[in-house]
């Protein structure tokens, strides 16, 4: 059962953590929204997909926001407790650093679980959605930009042939001829005009014709059906859309990466694992970086905290690159940087620790 001090530390860290997460999310959302509007401005993204595209991006980046937010929350909360002499009071009551470690690690468990859910499950799903939208937009842009009057367009391996006689400035089609050989029966359609659009969900091309005639039948056979119409729609299936949507490694589900033998897949899998593991590493790292007494100089520890923070994520990219290039052995994995940062910080703070001062004091008092 949690004690009063544990609940107090957990409550204070949680409040700061939620505030930092909300602030970072608003900042990232603002930056992503500006970039999204730039893509809309240049025509690379439809206006109707802005918020859907932005939502996918926020879900994709959530796992990379939680570890630094937790680290900053622990530093800010512990620094405030030290400034108000609450840490000294806790130590005077026999509640040493181990109690602080326990409280932080208790909070780190659910935060790491949430980060793992974002990194292992939602991140590839969001990356797939982002690439899916981009693929749709590229197909639509290529289809619309490539339409020229007086040309034949062949789709579905020659089963569908479309001829467009005219295109106005609103991209409406005029004098359209369509031959559809799918289903064993030839269908020929002529129309005065029509429009083309790309279905967002399926990625299929939809051609809607107006005021025309349809002729059904095969050459050499007497059975023909002739009819007129006011509106006629034909669907052209997307080509291997699902396969192309998984072109990037970031879109591959974690369950597939876990059993993959390719080295690049292993690096991607360990990259996703690095986010939840970083929660525990940064929790252990934050406590010694805070000066317990307000009389102690916190400038050096603050500088070391910023150095450790930036080195942590820079070393992550370096370790993943080295593993993918074969510089480091497979047994070392790409998570060695976390242990390295921990060791460097604790060694840097070792001379200022209570244990080191006791050992040095005994050595000075020893008879010679």
pLDDT tens-digit readout, 61-86: 999 999 999 999 988 888 887 777 77
Residue located via tokens 């993204």: 45
Residue 56 burial class via C-beta count within 10 angstroms: exposed 0-12, middle 13-18, buried 19 and up: buried
Domain interval for residue 161:
156-237
Q: Domain end: 189, 215, 237, which one?
A: 237
pLDDT at residue 366, as a whole number:
58
Condensed to tens digits (0 to 9), the pLDDT of residues 213-241 reads 888 888 777 777 888 888 888 776 655 54
246: confidence class by pLDDT, cuts 50, 70, 90: very low
Q: What is the dihedral of CA 123, 124, 128, 130, to 10 degrees?
A: 20
Taking residue 206's Cβ as centre, other Cβ atoms within 10 Å add up to 14
Q: Residue 216 belongs to what H/E stretch?
A: strand 205-216
pLDDT at residue 92, as a whole number:
72
Does residue 148 lie within any of the structural domains? no
Number of domains present in the structure of the chain: 2
- Record the pTM: 0.67
| Mean pLDDT, residues 339-361 | 71
Taking residue 238's Cβ as centre, other Cβ atoms within 10 Å add up to 17
| Same domain? 109 vs 211 | no
pLDDT at residue 304, as a whole number:
82
Instruction: Please name the residues in contact with 19: beta carbons below 8 A apart, sequence gap of 6 or more.
Output: none
Condensed to tens digits (0 to 9), the pLDDT of residues 192-213 reads 888 877 666 666 667 788 888 8
| Same domain? 54 vs 176 | no
| Same domain? 255 vs 332 | yes
1: confidence class by pLDDT, cuts 50, 70, 90: low
| Same domain? 195 vs 261 | no
Q: Which two tokens stand for residue 202?
A: 């399926």
244: confidence class by pLDDT, cuts 50, 70, 90: very low
| Same domain? 115 vs 259 | yes
Average pLDDT of every residue of the chain = 80
pLDDT at residue 188, as a whole number:
87
| Same domain? 23 vs 170 | no
| Same domain? 167 vs 268 | no
Q: Answer with the residue of higher pLDDT: 91 or 341.
A: 341
| Same domain? 135 vs 18 | yes
Q: Which two tokens stand for residue 31?
A: 């930056």
pLDDT at 140 over 60: no
Condensed to tens digits (0 to 9), the pLDDT of residues 143-196 reads 544 456 777 777 767 788 888 788 776 667 788 888 888 777 888 888 888 887
Separation CA 345–CA 118 (nearest Å)? 29
Q: Domain end: 184, 212, 237, which one?
A: 237
pLDDT at residue 27, as a whole number:
93
Q: Residue 265 belongs to what H/E stretch?
A: helix 263-286
Three-state SS at 186: coil
Share of the chain above pLDDT 70, in %: 80
DSSP assignments along 294-336, one per residue: TTS--HHHHHHHHHHHHHHHHHHHHHHHHHHHTSS-GGG-S-H
């Amino acid at each position: 059962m949690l004690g009063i001090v544990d609940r107090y530390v957990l409550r204070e860290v949680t409040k700061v953590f939620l505030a930092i997460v909300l602030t970072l999310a608003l900042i990232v959302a603002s930056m992503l929204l500006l970039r999204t509007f730039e893509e809309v401005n240049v025509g690379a993204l439809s206006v109707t997909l802005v918020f859907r595209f932005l939502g996918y991006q926020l879900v994709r980046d959530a796992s990379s926001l939680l570890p630094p937010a937790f680290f900053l929350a622990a530093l800010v909360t512990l620094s405030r407790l030290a400034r108000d002499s609450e840490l000294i009071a806790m130590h005077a009551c026999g509640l040493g650093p181990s109690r602080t470690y326990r409280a932080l690690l208790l909070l780190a468990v659910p935060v790491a679980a949430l980060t793992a859910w974002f990194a292992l499950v939602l991140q590839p799903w969001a990356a797939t959605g982002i690439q899916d939208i981009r693929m749709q937009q590229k197909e639509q842009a290529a289809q619309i930009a490539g339409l020229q009057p007086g040309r034949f367009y062949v789709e579905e391996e020659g089963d569908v042939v479309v001829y467009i006689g005219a295109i106005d400035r609103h991209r409406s089609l005029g004098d359209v001829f369509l031959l559809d050989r799918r289903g064993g029966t030839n269908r020929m359609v002529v129309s005065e005009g029509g429009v083309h659009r790309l279905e967002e969900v399926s990625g299929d091309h939809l051609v809607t014709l107006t005021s025309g005639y349809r002729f059904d039948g095969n050459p050499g056979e007497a059975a023909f059906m002739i009819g007129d119409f006011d509106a006629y729609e034909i669907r052209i299936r997307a080509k291997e859309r699902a396969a192309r949507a998984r072109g990037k490694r970031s879109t591959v589900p974690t369950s597939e990466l876990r059993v993959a033998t390719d080295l690049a897949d292993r690096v991607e899998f360990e990259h996703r694992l690095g986010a939840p593991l970083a929660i525990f590493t940064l929790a252990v790292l934050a406590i010694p970086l805070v000066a317990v007494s307000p009389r102690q100089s916190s400038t050096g520890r603050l500088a070391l905290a910023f150095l450790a923070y930036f080195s942590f994520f820079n070393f992550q990219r370096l370790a993943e690159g080295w593993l993918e290039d074969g510089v480091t052995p497979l047994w070392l994995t790409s998570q060695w940087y976390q242990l390295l940062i921990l060791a460097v910080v604790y060694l840097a703070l070792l001379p200022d620790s209570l244990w080191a001062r006791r050992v040095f004091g005994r050595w000075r008092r020893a008879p010679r």
